[in-house]
Structure 1
Amino acid sequence: MKPGIHPAYGPVVFRDRAADHAFLTRSTAASRTEKTIEWEDGNTYPVVDVEISSVSHPFYTGTARVLDTAGRVERFERRYGRREQG
């Protein structure tokens, strides 16, 4: 690898604001506000706040809604008629 062109890769704490959950991992993502947090191991790490993670995402929590696409098509056809086949 060429020196000086790659972003810094190191430990970062990602904090999910919606679920009040944090996890430590390695990343090239940098905190925009230079926030830090003292982690359970006693070390201080930069923090990146995220809106959604696997802890709060509807797909992973089982609260996702299934869209009824067939019902939407039928409702559209009732409202505007079927398209002519040509």
Structure 2
Amino acid sequence: MAKLLDLIAKIDQMDREDVIFVKPEWRPDSEASVFQLTEDYRVPEEARALGYEYFLEVDTIQQILEEFRSRPDASLNERCERIIHYATYDA
């Protein structure tokens, strides 16, 4: 079982078309998994059946993390909290 924080740490190793799905509540330690949307851009049934909710596309997360290039000392937890904030309020 992966945590959201673990997946964020490995985000650059993922395919840009991958999508992260997270079980509610969205926190750095929430259970998370990676899936791809269906051909018609829907949530895969497997993700839904396992209780995951759409979170963000890997490509979007990578773009958000660009903000931290000027703050290399930012912790992984800070980065994860920023991504959660974006997913909650801006996506």
TM-score, normalised relative to structure 2: 0.20
Higher relative contact order (CA 8 A, sep 6+): 2
Q: Which has the higher strand share?
A: 1
Q: Which has the higher helix share?
A: 2
TM-score, normalised relative to structure 1: 0.21
